Amino acid sequence: MNERQQVVYATVQASLKRRYARERRFRTLGLSAIILGLSFVLLLFADIISKGYSAFVQTHITLPVYFDPQVIDPSGQRDPAKLARANYRKLVRAPLRALFPEVQSRREKRQLYRLLSTGAAYQVQAMVLADPGLIGQTRQLALLADDDVDMINKGHIDQASVEERFGTAYWGWLQQLKQQDRLHTRWNSGFFTSGDSREPELAGIGGAMTGSLYTLLVTLLLSCPIGIAAAIYLEEFAPRNRFTDLIEVNINNLAAVPSIVFGLLGLAIFINLFGLPRSAPLVGGLVLTLMTLPTVIIASRAALQAVPPSIREAALGIGASHMQTVFHHVLPLALPGMLTGTIIGMAQALGETAPLLMIGMVAFIVDVPNSPLDPSSALPVQVYLWADSPERAFVERTSAAIMVLLAFLISMNACAVALRRRFERRW
Amino acid sequence: MSEMQSASGDAPLFDQSFQTTGQIHVDCPRMTASRVDVYYGDKQAIYDVSLDIARNEVIAMIGPSGCGKSTFLRCLNRMNDTIAGCRVSGTIKLDQQDIYDKRLDVVPLRARVGMVFQKPNPFPKSIYDNVAYGPRIHGLARKGDELDEVVETSLRRAGLWVEVKDRLTSPGTGLSGGQQQRLCIARTIAVSPEVILMDEPCSALDPIATARVEELLVELQKNYTIAVVTHSMQQAARISQRTAYFHLGRLVEVGETTQIFTNPQHKLTEDYITGRFG
Ligand SMILES: Nc1ncnc2c1ncn2[C@@H]1O[C@H](COP(=O)(O)OP(=O)(O)OP(=O)(O)O)[C@@H](O)[C@H]1O
Ligand SMILES: [Mg+2]
């Protein structure tokens, strides 16, 4: 080594330590940022899951129900219309009275009956309507318990508070039921199939899920073709001039507009001007389309830009027309990217709440919608509604609904990632 | 032309009276370019180039990097149309027909004047579909057998048939670089163009693959007119009948390949081929 080379070597050696230290610092910083982020996510998930998991089971009280012909069908004609109108509450109350003969006062009786949900009577009614042959028989039935019973059974309310709020007798009844092995938790299928209700034990996300599904369907059917077509036109066919620049700026702007503004727009245009029904998933879908369009367009344009120019040149070079080049070669290569963008847009739309509040999808709606024109709610709005309810039982339902929402979001985003992985760079 | 100055001195390299050295005209041209100027935005890339391309000849275009060879080549089938801001003036004729005529459709033009690019660019589709694409979109072969035949002849002509006949359905992108380039040539000749433009078709290939492509060019010359841009003077000498030397957007000299390489008339040409420039 000559002198100069020795100096260089020594300097390089001397600086190495500093360089590596800097690299280590940067790595630690990055790692701690990730750990911080992950721990917040974990915290959120732990909180939601710990609060919400118990909503997936529901407390039932097993009671011997006598399908009393005197109550259900005194005339014995088995007329379905009459069967439907019978007083089933009486049937489910009878075994309770028999179990606790010491309860005499009206006030206490009323409290005793409230161990059961109002849904219990409907349970029995449905059984009778399905099979009138049950009339005259006695069956051990697991009847839906009231939400307070459910909460106490799940240990969310302790003895002291129960005795303070409901009296000592109430606690005693529950203990007795427990000793007789009449208190059970069962898989809460109603949570996924029923609509909203004032009674927490009857409330479910079925209506909200269906509403969200219809809303997303409308959004997908509109934003996917419109967005992709707009992207193809802007990227491949539109002349580059002031006007298209203006469009481009506005599309980017649109992506940044607060979603509530879209809600106001939807209210003014779709409902007030066009007279579309309030609270309908159709309107929700239209509003969310406005919101997701920029996302879809921007992602689709990026996907089109990512197609290497050599492919276009190859096609043009053998005499494919512009249209053929785009549709035979560019589009197939860009499609996975476009779909990824669409799915991410859909996931955003699924979680969007504010614009739906503006168009009335926040109303209390018991029935599960049958079409995009029926009034309905949506999953995130349902979360918002339940989070506002005072009953303790709605707390766990809120968390459970969030879990379902998150499950949908995660699987949609996973789909997008899988799609991207699968079709990444085929050329 | 004060902006066009030689690398070394301040004296203008080309003045107003500059004329291409050598015979730019041929007896029976397939393509004629006359007084072609090309601009990228405000920047002029080609200055007043006139050149005939004869039938069934291989013409080589050589010159230092950035001198406008690719630009000129791309004018010949209007591939420059795809570049925003690129403007061409002058006339270019294919068989006496002005290809920059407003009424002329570029789609049939590009079917008649095909192009092979520097980097092999097969479609991410099967080998068969790569070759069949041109005939399909132009409706040259409709029935399955007919198409099979076109694909086979094209691949045979491109010297690729033996290597790929057992895997026509595997993706074209899975071939080696040299094979991909021959596939691209097969794809181009599948539409039976009259002229084939090639922009440094061998620059991404090893010597063996290069030799195969060169053989192929000599073979193809019987049926096609070929214009090749190349950086290898040996290659130009091996495959071409005429050679055109470009320098800073000008066509400096054109002539018989042997004459250009043994007895260049212009100083710049001489400097370039003797390795003093470029
Ligand atoms: N798309 C473009 N936009 C602007 N200028 C361009 C464009 N393409 C080429 N040019 C310019 O035009 C001139 C000629 O370029 P061209 O690609 O034709 O050179 P070339 O002779 O093919 O060079 P090489 O041998 O390196 O491929 C160069 O100065 C180049 O910078
Ligand atoms: Mg070039």
What is the residue range of A394's domain?
A: 206-423
Do A65 and A184 lie in one domain? The reply is yes
pLDDT surpasses 50 at B2: no
Q: pLDDT value at position B7?
A: 46
pLDDT surpasses 90 at A422: no
**Candidate from B38, B71, B82 with most ligand 1 atoms within 8 A of CB, to mutate:** B71
* Phi, psi angles (nearest 5°) of residue B91: -125, 145
Do A184 and A210 lie in one domain? The reply is no
pLDDT surpasses 90 at B134: yes
Among A188, A215, A245, the domain boundary falls at: A188
Portion of chain B with pLDDT greater than 90, in percent: 59
Do A231 and A364 lie in one domain? The reply is yes
The DSSP code sequence of A185-211 is EEE-THHHH----SSGGG--SHHHHHH
**Of A313, A319, A333, Cβ closest to residue B111:** A319
Do A210 and A150 lie in one domain? The reply is no
Alpha-carbon distance B242 to B51, whole Å? 11
Residue ranges and CATH numbers for the domains of chain B are 2-273 (3.40.50.300)
Of A86-90, B4-8, B88-92, B155-159, give the range with the top mean pLDDT. B88-92
| Partner B, chain A 279-308, Cβ-Cβ below 8 Å | 308
Q: pLDDT value at position A226?
A: 95
CB B46 within 8 A of CB B72: yes
Q: pLDDT value at position B186?
A: 93
List Cα–Cα distances, A112 to A95, A102, A160, A166, in angstroms.
Answer: 11, 11, 19, 10
User: How high does pLDDT run on average in chain A?
Assistant: 91
Q: Does A242 touch chain B (CB under 8 A)?
A: no
Query: Is residue B66 within 6 Å of ligand 1 at its C-beta?
Result: yes
Alpha-carbon distance A154 to A150, whole Å? 6
Alpha-carbon distance A220 to A242, whole Å? 31
Alpha-carbon distance A378 to A361, whole Å? 7
Let me know if residue A28 belongs to a domain: no
pLDDT surpasses 80 at B142: no
User: How high does pLDDT run on average in chain B?
Assistant: 88
Alpha-carbon distance A138 to A135, whole Å? 8
Taking the centre of ligand 2 as the mean of its atom positions, its distance from the CA of residue A263, in whole angstroms, is: 54
CB within 8 Å: A318 and B84:
no
Mutate to test the interface with B, among A311, A318, A335, A424 (most CBs of B within 10 A): A318
pLDDT surpasses 50 at B3: no
pTM to 2 decimals?
0.83
User: What distance in Å separates residue A304's CA from the closest CA in chain B?
Assistant: 15
Do A402 and A254 lie in one domain? The reply is yes
Q: Does A310 touch chain B (CB under 8 A)?
A: yes
pLDDT surpasses 70 at B278: no
Tell me the pLDDT band of B161, cut-offs 50, 70 and 90: very high
Q: How many CB atoms lie within 10 A of CB B157?
A: 19
Q: pLDDT value at position B223?
A: 87
Tokens of B8: 């070394």
> pLDDT, tens digit, for every residue of A313-342?
999 999 999 999 999 999 999 998 999 999
Mutate to test the interface with A, among B113, B123, B131 (most CBs of A within 10 A): B123
Q: pLDDT value at position B93?
A: 93
pLDDT surpasses 70 at B11: no
* Residue appearing with tokens 């080696």: B176
> pLDDT, tens digit, for every residue of A163-212?
888 888 888 999 999 999 999 899 999 899 999 998 889 999 999 999 99
Let me know if residue A218 belongs to a domain: yes
Let me know if residue A36 belongs to a domain: no
CB within 8 Å: B77 and A317:
yes
Taking the centre of ligand 2 as the mean of its atom positions, its distance from the CA of residue B227, in whole angstroms, is: 13
CB within 8 Å: B121 and A316:
no
CB within 8 Å: A324 and B109:
no
For the residues B130-141, what does the mean pLDDT come to? 91
pLDDT surpasses 60 at B42: yes
Tell me the pLDDT band of B6, cut-offs 50, 70 and 90: very low
Do A286 and A335 lie in one domain? The reply is yes
Among A162, A188, A214, the domain boundary falls at: A188
Q: pLDDT value at position B28?
A: 86
Provide, as residue numbers in chain A, all residues whose Cβ is less than 8 Å from the Cβ of B94.
Answer: none
Portion of chain A with pLDDT greater than 90, in percent: 58
Question: Residue A327 sits in a domain of what CATH number?
Answer: 1.10.3720.10
Q: pLDDT value at position B159?
A: 84
Alpha-carbon distance B253 to B24, whole Å? 8
> pLDDT, tens digit, for every residue of A107-143?
888 889 989 998 999 999 999 889 888 888 899 999 9
**DSSP class of B12:** B
Pairing, β B195-199 against β B113-116: parallel
Do A158 and A281 lie in one domain? The reply is no
CB within 8 Å: A313 and B188:
no
> pLDDT, tens digit, for every residue of A247-264?
989 998 888 899 899 999
Q: Does A274 touch chain B (CB under 8 A)?
A: no
pLDDT surpasses 50 at A156: yes
Do A325 and A387 lie in one domain? The reply is yes
Q: Is B78 left (phi over 0), alpha (psi -120 to 50) or beta?
A: left
Do A119 and A232 lie in one domain? The reply is no
pLDDT surpasses 60 at B4: no
**DSSP class of A132:** G
Taking the centre of ligand 1 as the mean of its atom positions, its distance from the CA of residue B45, in whole angstroms, is: 7
CB B249 within 8 A of CB B13: no
Nearest CA in chain B to A427: B124
Let me know if residue A159 belongs to a domain: yes
For the residues B247-261, what does the mean pLDDT come to? 92
Let me know if residue A280 belongs to a domain: yes
C-alpha distance across the termini of chain A, in Å: 47
Among A158, A188, A218, the domain boundary falls at: A188
pLDDT surpasses 90 at A31: yes
> pLDDT, tens digit, for every residue of A356-387?
999 988 888 888 999 999 999 999 999 999 99
Tell me the pLDDT band of A41, cut-offs 50, 70 and 90: very high
Tell me the pLDDT band of B1, cut-offs 50, 70 and 90: very low
Do A220 and A180 lie in one domain? The reply is no
pLDDT surpasses 80 at B10: no
Q: pLDDT value at position B128?
A: 95
For the residues A98-105, what does the mean pLDDT come to? 89
Let me know if residue A334 belongs to a domain: yes
Provide, as residue numbers in chain A, all residues whose Cβ is less than 8 Å from the Cβ of B138.
Answer: 319
Residue among B188, B181, B258 nearest B223 (CA)? B188
pLDDT surpasses 50 at B275: yes
Do A334 and A403 lie in one domain? The reply is yes
Contacts with A194 (C-beta within 8 Å, 6 or more apart), sequence order:
A202, A203, A204, A206, A207, A368
Taking the centre of ligand 1 as the mean of its atom positions, its distance from the CA of residue B69, in whole angstroms, is: 8
Do A322 and A213 lie in one domain? The reply is yes
Tell me the pLDDT band of A82, cut-offs 50, 70 and 90: confident
Let me know if residue A245 belongs to a domain: yes
Q: Which residues of A219-256 are buried (b: 16+ CB within 10 A; e: fewer)?
A: bbebbbeebbebbbebbbeeeeeeeeeeebeebeebee
The total of structural domains in chain A comes to 2
Residue among A119, A107, A114, A117 nearest A173 (CA)? A114
User: What distance in Å separates residue A310's CA from the closest CA in chain B?
Assistant: 6
Let me know if residue A20 belongs to a domain: no
